[in-house]
Amino acid sequence: MSNIKTHFCTQNTSTPIAKPANALRILHTADWHLGKLLHGQARYDEFAKFLDWLNQSLIAHQVDILIVAGDIFDTSTPSNRAEQLYHQFLAHAYRNQIKHIVIVAGNHDSPTSLQKTKEVLGVLNTQVIGHISDDIGDEVLTLTDTDGSPLAIVMAVPYLRDRDVRTSGQAQDIQQKTNQLLQGVANHYQQLFEVAHQKQQALQQTTQRHIPIIATGHLFAAGSSISSDDDGMRDLQVGTLGQISGAIFDERIDYVALGHIHAAQQVAGKTQIRYSGSPIAMGFGEIGREKQVLLIDFQDNQDIQIHSLFVPIFQNLAKIWGDWDEISTQIDVLKTKNESVWLEVEYTGKKIIANLRSQLTALLDGSQLAVLSLKNKTLYQGSLQKNKLNASLQELDELAIFEQRLAKEELDDEEKQALKLAYQTLLQEMHDADTK
């Protein structure tokens, strides 16, 4: 068995998916995370190539409406370069005569920063919803064709924070707070749907056509699967991250465009409730996973048609593991390709190699290979044990560190779960307080 997994650049060789006559075509994407680093390595070239590909795809596949379901940026304070890529993309899409773009904020985005561009981007046929409004109708958009005829009704829902949907009454414990939060989210979607459905019925009377209702969401639906342990998700919020039922979406909603989970998938087996997933690999654990955006076709009196449009790979990644001989052999193979490759190397040999990184650096000299992540699984003894602990802490997130600490306590499972919920809630409150 080869001790290597690779994720090598591919070309966009797919032929355009034919658009049915008189169909409304939507492209659903999410979780761009513009500005995200991979173990400290900037990825702006990848993001630029993806956005160029996306603009070309909007034209080739005759897309009418683009929906971006949150996490446009990786942080609430994106770099100038990340913002430049975002605005360049929107300008190009407008020039390419995309009829409408709908963008909602994710948990990584700053609601205020996105919202402040709302009026300017509105001139470019781009509707931005950074946070919910006092007027719930502001989140229900009626999108029209160039002649003014209605195309779709969009329930444009951003990432919902506790303060957005908190129900009345002081929670007595973590579970009650979680239940209130879940109920608040469900109530918000129900109120929006009632507004959207009234608009739909009114339009049906005047046009004699079924105008589809499309909802967005940036949340963790119950039963969903994350892409990998290192895909960059902030698994913080109790309740909304793991317990939201797909049942909160009224069955009369024609399509639900979700973001937050980086693996493309259906929710609760419902064809019309989908995560598009992230368009590029968010970590080495996603090597081998095909990335995609989704094309959805709506036609009068017909079931919707959903097509997966696979995204090319724009940066070579590889994961190598084994003892020194196995690792060096795989690196020699990669060097023969004479291509840029970012590596994750995991040393599992029995022999202790104290200067592993320097030996790897010497081995890579003169090549286009770069080690971004190095994991040394050798069992250190004596003074080396401290080095092992430090390396492990760099690989763990806050929750994983807390769980390791919790494992040392003599507590039953129920007590551990209660403490974990309390810790997750604290992390979420800290995160939401920083996201302005």
In 3-state terms, what secondary structure has residue 203? helix
Gyration radius (Cα) of the chain, Å:
24
Least confident of 56-65, 88-97, 269-278, 392-401: 392-401
Percent of the chain at pLDDT exceeding 70: 84
CA distance 402 to 331: 36
Confidence of residue 229 (pLDDT cuts 50, 70, 90): confident
Confidence of residue 425 (pLDDT cuts 50, 70, 90): low
Percent of the chain at pLDDT exceeding 90: 63
**Which pLDDT score is estimated for 431?**
54
**Which pLDDT score is estimated for 377?**
75
- The mean pLDDT of 183-207, rounded to a whole number, is 95
**Which tokens hold the place of 56?**
């070309």
Q: What are the DSSP E strand ranges found in 105-149?
A: 126-129, 140-144
- The mean pLDDT of 90-96, rounded to a whole number, is 93
Confidence of residue 432 (pLDDT cuts 50, 70, 90): low
**Which pLDDT score is estimated for 30?**
98
Confidence of residue 384 (pLDDT cuts 50, 70, 90): very low
Confidence of residue 257 (pLDDT cuts 50, 70, 90): very high
CA distance 229 to 182: 25
pLDDT at 289 over 70: yes
**Which tokens hold the place of 5?**
């997994």
pLDDT at 337 over 50: yes
Mean pLDDT estimate for the chain = 86
Number of neighbouring beta carbons within 10 Å of residue 131: 19
Nearby residues of 360 by Cβ (< 8 Å), 6 or more positions away: 327, 331, 345, 371, 374
Within a 13 Å sphere around the CA of 269, how many CA atoms are in the beta-carbon half? 0
CA distance 292 to 280: 9
Cβ 372 vs Cβ 40: under 8 Å: yes
- The mean pLDDT of 363-375, rounded to a whole number, is 93
Confidence of residue 398 (pLDDT cuts 50, 70, 90): low
Confidence of residue 277 (pLDDT cuts 50, 70, 90): very high
- The mean pLDDT of 227-235, rounded to a whole number, is 65
pLDDT at 390 over 60: no
- The mean pLDDT of 135-164, rounded to a whole number, is 92
- The mean pLDDT of 231-253, rounded to a whole number, is 69
- The mean pLDDT of 366-380, rounded to a whole number, is 84
- The mean pLDDT of 228-243, rounded to a whole number, is 56
**Which pLDDT score is estimated for 142?**
96
**Which pLDDT score is estimated for 242?**
53
Confidence of residue 286 (pLDDT cuts 50, 70, 90): very high
Confidence of residue 383 (pLDDT cuts 50, 70, 90): very low
Q: Which residue has the higher pLDDT, 13 or 351?
A: 351
Confidence of residue 409 (pLDDT cuts 50, 70, 90): confident
Helix, strand, coil distribution of the chain in percent, nearest 5 = 35, 20, 40
Strand partners, 310: 292
- In the numeric block, the tokens 């968010």 are attached to 282
**Which pLDDT score is estimated for 355?**
87
- pTM for the model stands at 0.87
- The mean pLDDT of 30-38, rounded to a whole number, is 96
